[in-house]
Amino acid sequence: MSGLVVSATGAGQVPSASIDSGFSAMLEGPPTTSRTFASDQTLRAYTELKDAGNAPVEIVTVVRDAAGREVLRRPEPAVHARVTDSNSLGYAIDLPLTPFAPGDYVLRVEASSTPGRPALSRDVAFTVRR
C-alpha cells in the first residue's frame, strides 16, 4: 500500500515547481504538503494497493479527533472490482471538512482482503481551521 497523497480544494492556488498530471487528475488538483485546511475545503486523499490480486478487498476510511475518538467511518466493501490489469487498485476519497470542528485529526485508510489477517493502513494528520 502506498502512502497517502493529499490535496484539497484550492491547492492549485499555491505555486508548485512541478505538477504531476497523474496525481492532479486523481485528486482533482495538485498534491500539497500543507496539512492545515479551512473548514470550507474538501480534503482529497489517494492511495494505491499494489498486487491487489483477485481477492475481495475492503477499504475503510476512518477519521479520529485529537482525543482519539472516531468521528467518521466510511467502509467501501468489495472495491476489488476496480483492480486494473496491472493488479493495482487506486483509491481516492473526498472528505468535505464542513462538519468538522476546528482542531487536529488523523485520517486513516485501511485495506484488508483476508479475514483474520491484519489490515494494511496509512495515516495522515491534518488540522481544520475556520
4-26: pLDDT as tens digits = 989 888 776 655 555 666 665 66
36-38/120-129 β-pairing = parallel
- CATH number, position 113: 2.60.40.3880
Whether 52 has a pLDDT exceeding 70, the answer reads no
Output DSSP code: residue 86.
T
Query: In terms of residue numbers, what domain contains 19?
Result: 5-129
Helix then strand count (H, E) for the chain reads 1, 8
The C-alpha atoms of residue 49 and residue 59 are separated, in whole angstroms, by 10
For 12, other C-beta atoms within 10 Å of its C-beta total: 15
Task: Look at residue 79 in the predicted model and tell me its pLDDT.
Answer: 66
pTM: 0.83
Q: Which helix (H) or strand (E) holds 73?
A: strand 70-76
Task: Look at residue 85 in the predicted model and tell me its pLDDT.
Answer: 65
Poorest-pLDDT segment among 7-21, 23-37, 73-87 = 7-21
Q: What is the tally of structural domains in the chain?
A: 1
Phi, psi for 87 (deg, rounded to 5): 70, 25
Percent of the chain surpassing pLDDT 90? 43
